[in-house]
Amino acid sequence: MSANLVDRYVFTALRRVPEQQRADIDRELRASIEDAVDARVEAGEEREAAVETTLQELGDPDRLADSYADRPNYLIGPELFPVWRRSMTMLITIVLPIIVVVNAIVQVLANDAGFGDVIGSSVGTIITVGAHMFFWTTLGFWIVERTGAGKDDINRPWTPKDLPRYEPGALTRVQFAANLVWPAALIVALVLQQFTFTDEPLLDPANWNTWWPVLIALIVLKGMWVFWVYRLGTWTRAVAVVNAVHGLAIGGVILYLLASDNFFNPAFTGFAGADVDLEGWISVVVMITTGLSILYDIFDVARKAEQARKGLGIRIPGTGNTYTAS
């Protein structure tokens, strides 16, 4: 009976071991079991009981095989887990909301969908796209974990440079990514509404001769400004001045087009059939929103620059402490 138990244990373990290692591990494992059993027998234990106790202490043969084969028995190990977590956080909090908003816009413009249809479609998008993001991201990290390919590039050694920046107004990596994503999303939306969503685009196609390329150029400059701020690691007066000039330029273009009735496409039929001047009301709302947003952005950046210049401390969320750059 005891020999049968040992054979079954060894055979079970060898199933999960690469073929070229099986002979060596077979001999090593049997020798280890025999030595442990002999020691227990010499101590006065019955042989069959000694075999069962030894195998019990060795534990699950599948786990033992993984240790022999140097194969992890987890999906994503502790080395890559923080990188995977940061990646998923960025995808779920930044990329997924953008996809949901774009999908909702497509539903409204392409299908003239009602409020309930848009909500239902958005919930479905969250579930479907979120599941795909989780699955494919996790699969990619699993492949890296098992093969080791690119592991050093993904999980580079930690250095003090990786510490979060707590200087007043300094952009974190997540903020940096978010501030680059929205300009790209605006450019994509501007182009797609012209060529994809409807027979008649929402925005005036005549502006492609001048104003839409100018607006795209200004949006690209905003992305370059964000990169500049991220590289500086803090806010300065120069950053605030450039931001103010840029904000006034982009706001001036949008407000001019709205005020002169050259922003929306006159041939767009989505505003037809309303009891009120829907296009006029939307223009007013966009003008007010644009003006307030730009003024707030100019004020906020100027405030951060002055705060950084004076070396004022900021409160660190979750710590109760105030950080002051030395």
Give per-residue pLDDT as tens, 181-202.
778 777 877 777 777 655 677 7
| pLDDT average, residue stretch 222-242 | 88
- Cβ-contact 34, 22 below 8 angstroms: no
- Overall pTM surpassing 0.95 (yes/no): no
Phi, psi angles (nearest 5°) of residue 243: -65, -40
Residue 170: other Cβ atoms inside 10 A: 20
Most confident of 54-68, 136-150, 289-303: 289-303
Kindly report, residue by residue over 24-51, the tens digit of the pLDDT: 888 888 898 899 889 999 998 888 888 8
| pLDDT average, residue stretch 223-237 | 86
pLDDT at 137: 80
Residue 142: other Cβ atoms inside 10 A: 17
pLDDT at 242: 94
Which residues, including other chains, have CB under 8 Å from residue 78's CB and lie 6 or more apart? none
pLDDT at 77: 63
Q: How far is CA 222 from the centre of its chain?
A: 21
Q: How confident is the model at residue 164 (pLDDT cuts 50, 70, 90)?
A: low
- Cβ-contact 239, 179 below 8 angstroms: no
Kindly report, residue by residue over 266-307, the tens digit of the pLDDT: 877 666 655 656 677 778 888 888 889 899 989 988 988 887
Q: 11, exposed or middle or buried, with CB in 10 Å at 0-12, 13-18, 19+?
A: exposed
Residue 50: other Cβ atoms inside 10 A: 21
Instruction: Look at residue 203 and give its three-state secondary structure.
Output: strand
